[in-house]
Amino acid sequence: MQSLTPSNPSFFIAGIPVYGNRILAPMDGYSDQPFRSVVRKLGSAMIYTEFINALEIVWRNKKFARRCLFSETERPVAIQIFDDNPIRLTASAISIVEQFSPDMIDINMGCSVNHVANRGAGAGLLQNPKKVGAIIANLTHELNIPITAKIRLGWDQDSINYLEVGKQIEGNGASMIALHARTKAQMFKGSIDLDAIANLKQTLTIPVLGNGDLTTNAEIENMLSYTKCDAVLIGRIAIKNPWIFAGYDFEEVPLSLYLSTVREHFSAMVDFFGPDRGCVGFRKFAKKYLTNKGIGKAKVRNLLTTADPSLFAEKFETLLQWIEAGNRDYDLE
């Protein structure tokens, strides 16, 4: 496998060296521990967890605490939390640091989902830059690990304020900022504002990560060179092509690497979640892995509706062998 990991750090987050400039974006429902481990091994230069509701930590909800678990090989690890309440955010961050010892805490200020943003959390915080500053000040005062934040351009086109928010974040002691270069109102629509990433990078001295719509090596290299951002966050395309972290566009991934990664991912899911939840959780990845290799919809559906974990594993392996053998037809019963 080719490697993009340089021998010298690409940048530092408050003294923590980061080797490389491609990083898996946090994705609820996808960037769980097994997927992160696979992607980190392929070359993601650090790790963000899925976002975690601060309330769940304060209430000590075991299911959510599980989302904080990570393996040592994933470091540097940022555990991401969200809330609209500064006191709960700090209390949950302290509790997370005591229980899980991440390398940093990231605050989600970009989630556009209505039930998060409309209550003032996630991108809802962008409507109140002073509150953003107070949240970061509280956290940097109470914790002795780096605090980082992930933001959007602003709430909507009429209230673009990423520079003001960025200055509040840096000015109150945060150590890195990631910008998904769209507004909350845009959700995932419309084009990415590369100039905004470049402006933020020029304005701040802490590392700036650019994010949004990257799907190929060429697009990644363009965002890095055009904006001069320190690294990029890569989200949705990583679900189809985790090998992007090793520098491969999907069509270029060597078959042996494709097969070893996919097998490793499946077995990591079963190890981490157990056979039942592991297979169910793997379905959404299997769908992408297989359809993008030309496996027909009917066969994929047959696999995805298989409830028994051993049978699922057997059918999945059959399809991989089919791909390995050059798409000779097999029937799944």
Ligand X SMILES: Cc1cc2nc3c(=O)[nH]c(=O)nc-3n(C[C@H](O)[C@H](O)[C@H](O)COP(=O)(O)O)c2cc1C
Write out the catalytic residue numbers: 111
Give the C-alpha separation, 315 to 325, whole Å: 15
Among the candidate windows 27-35, 155-163, 196-204, 317-325, which touches ligand X by CB under 6 A?
27-35
Closest alpha carbon to 193 in 169, 210, 215:
210
Coil, helix or strand at residue 195: helix
Q: 163's torsion region: left (phi>0), alpha (psi -120 to 50) or beta? A: alpha
CB of 175 to ligand X, least distance (A): 17
Instruction: Copy the structure tokens of residue 258.
Output: 């494709």
Assess 67 for contact with ligand X (CB under 6 A): no
Site for ligand X in 164-223 (CB under 6 A): 180, 211-214
Instruction: Copy the structure tokens of residue 248.
Output: 């491969």
Interaction mask 7-26, ligand X, x per CB under 6 A: ------------------xx
Interaction mask 235-274, ligand X, x per CB under 6 A: xx--------------------------------------
Give the C-alpha separation, 25 to 327, whole Å: 33
Of 12, 14, 19, 28, which lies in the binding site for ligand X, with binding defined by CB under 6 A? 28
Interaction mask 293-322, ligand X, x per CB under 6 A: ------------------------------
Coil, helix or strand at residue 234: strand
CB of 331 to ligand X, least distance (A): 33
Give the C-alpha separation, 123 to 22, whole Å: 23
Of 23, 200, 234, 262, which lies in the binding site for ligand X, with binding defined by CB under 6 A? 234
Query: Is the Cβ–Cβ distance between 234 and 25 less than 8 Å?
Result: yes
Coil, helix or strand at residue 143: coil
Facing residues of 40 across strands?
Answer: none
Of 21, 37, 108, 168, which lies in the binding site for ligand X, with binding defined by CB under 6 A? 108
Whose Cβ is closer to ligand X: residue 154's or residue 235's? 235
Number of residues that bind ligand X (CB under 6 A): 21
- Written as one letter, the residue type at 100 is F
Give the C-alpha separation, 116 to 52, whole Å: 11
What residues make contact with ligand X under the rule CB under 6 A? 25-30, 50-51, 80, 108, 110-111, 150, 180, 211-214, 234-236
